[in-house]
């Protein structure tokens, strides 16, 4: 029987960058659901924020802490911003090409709440797709597709691997170290920008194992999303559009964000999302738009090719047409608690990296484009720790039991859950609605459901309970009494 040195659950930026940093001679296996590109990393548009030089590190730290609304762990932020440059440079040294000007200098753009231009990007607005492709091409280790992890094999203070469901069969896969890099929670919400594989299973499994989840109420809603499609994943209109001159307007073409915050379109995304939500309610407006009238067509097409062609496919002629927008769930600041080497407290050999992790690097609100950076920085730290660390590992075997993953009613309940989370645990929350949501989720958990829905429900419950506990608004968590 094969015992791997490391199993990595997830093939986004965090999982693949961990794989890239693990020596070829190590026995490593990467697991992912569906196809490898079906992850949030692939869809990331804006770019990766990084201190432009040593002098910018402190300002990047300060911007991150300001966005985090007092909940950031300063040491975690220092690690992110301090090690960010070398993590990005390491990609470049391995051959990755960010966009450059005619003289070969890296192009840096600006996004909301950054006090200077420090976002590197690739392929215009295709940063995630390009980084993902690059990491896949460089990956030296085997990757198993269409594989869902459905259990963590653990006993006392050690994890022995994972149980998977692959091609209709259950299998135990054993390893000396397990890294969870399974992304966020998008599928819990009716409107979201996330890949369909990102459905909070591993957070649910962590809860079942008794690991601590932290800051789960801190859910970020992106203000500019085209939601009028029947696809589960809604079309994001990147922050950098506003950074480079797009406006939010009402049906008469009037800008209104300055009535809410003096930074207008460049306010942090939670403020823009709530402003749109409030403006629509107060002024009884059905539709709010993003206007691109500041852009020249050729510039727009070259700088934002993904958005240009995606929206062309949906019938929009950019930059002339305005596009109806709505806020939608986008990013989870909360996750499985871990230390600055990405290790989970309860186990000697379990690590979490990327969006699924919580080091408090984002606090109560993530600064735009800090999450790809987080994936790069903390994957390297987890690998470093794994390669340094020695502990006694005596392999044990677990039962090869099968489980009921789906039950007939699950589809209806999943859809009800998404609506419930959107309406009751969304942009503006009230204690009453949160309590109603908790009762409803509890009753779904005790009904006749399959395991995968149960994991979603456990994570939803953790979000709702954290939201109820935090009685005052902070960062992305906004509660009205």
Ligand X SMILES: Cc1cc2nc3c(=O)[nH]c(=O)nc-3n(C[C@H](O)[C@H](O)[C@H](O)COP(=O)(O)OP(=O)(O)OC[C@H]3O[C@@H](n4cnc5c(N)ncnc54)[C@H](O)[C@@H]3O)c2cc1C
Residues annotated as part of the active site: 269
Minimum CB separation from ligand X for residue 162, in Å? Answer: 8
Left (φ > 0), alpha (ψ -120 to 50) or beta: where does 206 sit? alpha
Measured over the CA atoms of residue 48, residue 218, residue 479 and residue 458, the dihedral's sign is positive
Q: Interacting stretch for ligand X, rule CB under 6 A, among 171-179, 206-214, 354-362, 384-392?
A: 354-362
Please give the Cα distance from 412 to 118 (Å, whole number): 44
Contact (Cβ atoms closer than 8 angstroms) between residue 315 and residue 125: no
Minimum CB separation from ligand X for residue 370, in Å? Answer: 6
- The residue from 9, 67, 173, 444 that contacts ligand X (CB under 6 A) is 9
- The residue from 124, 243, 264, 354 that contacts ligand X (CB under 6 A) is 354
From residue 49, how far is each of 44, 74, 84, 187 by CA, in Å?
A: 12, 18, 8, 26
Q: Interacting stretch for ligand X, rule CB under 6 A, among 8-16, 52-60, 75-83, 152-160?
A: 8-16
Contact (Cβ atoms closer than 8 angstroms) between residue 14 and residue 7: no
Closest CA to 349 of 395, 398, 385: 385
39 near ligand X, judged by CB under 6 A: yes
Q: Report the chain's terminal Cα–Cα distance, integer Å.
A: 57
Report which DSSP code applies to 31.
Answer: E
From residue 48, how far is each of 115, 126, 371, 399, 455 by CA, in Å?
A: 15, 11, 8, 43, 31
- The residue from 13, 266, 344, 383 that contacts ligand X (CB under 6 A) is 13
Q: Interacting stretch for ligand X, rule CB under 6 A, among 7-15, 88-96, 249-257, 290-298?
A: 7-15
Q: Between 360 and 389, how does the x/- string for binding to ligand X read (CB under 6 A)?
A: ---------xxxx--x--------------
Minimum CB separation from ligand X for residue 455, in Å? Answer: 8
CA angle 394, 398, 404 (to 5 degrees): 155
SS3 25: coil
33 near ligand X, judged by CB under 6 A: yes
Contact (Cβ atoms closer than 8 angstroms) between residue 22 and residue 141: yes
Q: Interacting stretch for ligand X, rule CB under 6 A, among 30-38, 83-91, 401-409, 443-451?
A: 30-38
- The residue from 6, 7, 14, 61 that contacts ligand X (CB under 6 A) is 14
Minimum CB separation from ligand X for residue 450, in Å? Answer: 14
- The residue from 20, 47, 316, 434 that contacts ligand X (CB under 6 A) is 47
Pick between residue 40 and residue 224 the one whose CB is nearest to ligand X.
40
Q: Which of residues 96-155 bind ligand X (CB under 6 A)?
A: 127-128, 147-149
Closest CA to 414 of 445, 379, 449, 453: 453
Please give the Cα distance from 452 to 458 (Å, whole number): 10
Binding-site residue total for ligand X (CB under 6 A)? 46
183 near ligand X, judged by CB under 6 A: yes
Minimum CB separation from ligand X for residue 373, in Å? Answer: 6
Contact (Cβ atoms closer than 8 angstroms) between residue 47 and residue 124: no
Q: Interacting stretch for ligand X, rule CB under 6 A, among 189-197, 400-408, 414-422, 442-450?
A: 189-197
Closest CA to 290 of 232, 240, 227, 241: 241
- The residue from 7, 28, 29, 31 that contacts ligand X (CB under 6 A) is 31
- The residue from 7, 19, 29, 45 that contacts ligand X (CB under 6 A) is 45
459 near ligand X, judged by CB under 6 A: no
Contact (Cβ atoms closer than 8 angstroms) between residue 150 and residue 451: yes
Contact (Cβ atoms closer than 8 angstroms) between residue 8 and residue 179: yes
Please give the Cα distance from 351 to 178 (Å, whole number): 6
Minimum CB separation from ligand X for residue 413, in Å? Answer: 19
Please give the Cα distance from 284 to 299 (Å, whole number): 35
Burial of 468 (0-12, 13-18, 19+ CB in 10 A): middle
Please give the Cα distance from 185 to 273 (Å, whole number): 19
193 near ligand X, judged by CB under 6 A: yes
Pick between residue 14 and residue 417 the one whose CB is nearest to ligand X.
14
Pick between residue 240 and residue 291 the one whose CB is nearest to ligand X.
240
12 near ligand X, judged by CB under 6 A: yes
Q: Interacting stretch for ligand X, rule CB under 6 A, among 32-40, 298-306, 399-407, 436-444?
A: 32-40
Minimum CB separation from ligand X for residue 148, in Å? Answer: 5
Site residues for ligand X per CB under 6 A: 9-15, 31-34, 38-41, 43-48, 127-128, 147-149, 181-183, 193-195, 197-198, 201-202, 236, 331, 354-356, 369-372, 375
């Amino acid at each position: 029987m094969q015992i791997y040195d490391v199993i990595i659950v997830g093939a986004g930026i965090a999982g693949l960058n961990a794989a890239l940093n693990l020596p070829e001679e190590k026995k490593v296996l990467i697991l992912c659901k569906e196809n490898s590109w079906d992850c949030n990393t692939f869809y990331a548009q804006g770019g990766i924020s990084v201190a432009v030089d040593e002098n910018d590190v402190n300002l990047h730290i300060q911007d991150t802490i300001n966005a985090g609304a007092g909940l950031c762990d300063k040491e975690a932020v220092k690690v992110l911003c301090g090690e960010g440059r070398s993590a990005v440079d390491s990609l470049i040294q391995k051959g990755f090409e960010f966009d450059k000007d005619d003289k070969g200098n890296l192009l840096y753009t600006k996004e909301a709440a950054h006090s200077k231009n420090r976002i590197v990007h690739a392929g215009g607005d295709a940063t995630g797709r390009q980084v993902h492709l690059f990491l896949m091409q460089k990956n030296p280790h085997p990757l198993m597709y269409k594989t869902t992890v459905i259990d963590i094999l653990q006993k006392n203070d050690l994890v022995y691997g994972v149980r998977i469901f692959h091609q209709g069969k259950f299998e135990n896969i054993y390893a000396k170290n397990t890294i969870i890099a399974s992304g966020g929670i998008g599928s819990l919400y009716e409107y979201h920008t996330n890949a369909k594989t990102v459905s909070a299973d591993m957070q649910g499994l962590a809860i079942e194992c008794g690991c601590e989840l932290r800051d789960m109420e801190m859910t970020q809603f992106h203000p500019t999303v085209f939601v009028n499609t029947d696809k589960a994943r809604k079309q994001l209109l990147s922050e950098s559009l506003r950074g480079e001159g797009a406006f939010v307007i009402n049906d008469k073409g009037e800008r209104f964000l300055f009535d809410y915050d003096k930074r207008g379109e460049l306010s942090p995304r939670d403020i823009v999302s709530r402003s749109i939500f409030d403006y629509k309610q107060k002024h009884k407006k059905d539709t709010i738009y993003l206007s691109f009238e500041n852009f020249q067509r050729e510039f727009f097409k070259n700088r934002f090719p993904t958005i240009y062609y995606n929206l062309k496919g949906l019938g929009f002629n950019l930059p002339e047409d305005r596009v109806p927008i709505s806020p939608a769930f986008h990013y989870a600041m909360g996750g499985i608690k871990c230390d600055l080497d990405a290790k989970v407290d309860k186990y000697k050999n379990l690590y979490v990296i990327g969006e699924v992790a919580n080091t408090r690097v984002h606090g109560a609100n993530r600064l735009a484009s800090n999450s790809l950076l987080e994936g790069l920085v903390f994957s390297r730290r987890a690998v470093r720790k794994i390669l340094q660390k020695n502990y006694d590992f005596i392999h044990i075997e677990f039962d090869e039991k099968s489980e009921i993953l789906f039950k007939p009613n699950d589809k209806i309940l999943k859809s009800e859950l998404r609506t419930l989370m959107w309406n009751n645990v969304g942009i503006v929350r009230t204690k009453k609605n949160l309590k109603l949501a908790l009762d409803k989720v509890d009753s779904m958990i005790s009904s006749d459901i399959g395991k995968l829905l149960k994991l979603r429900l456990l994570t939803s419950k953790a979000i709702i309970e954290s939201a109820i506990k935090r009685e005052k608004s902070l960062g992305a968590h906004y509660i009205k009494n």
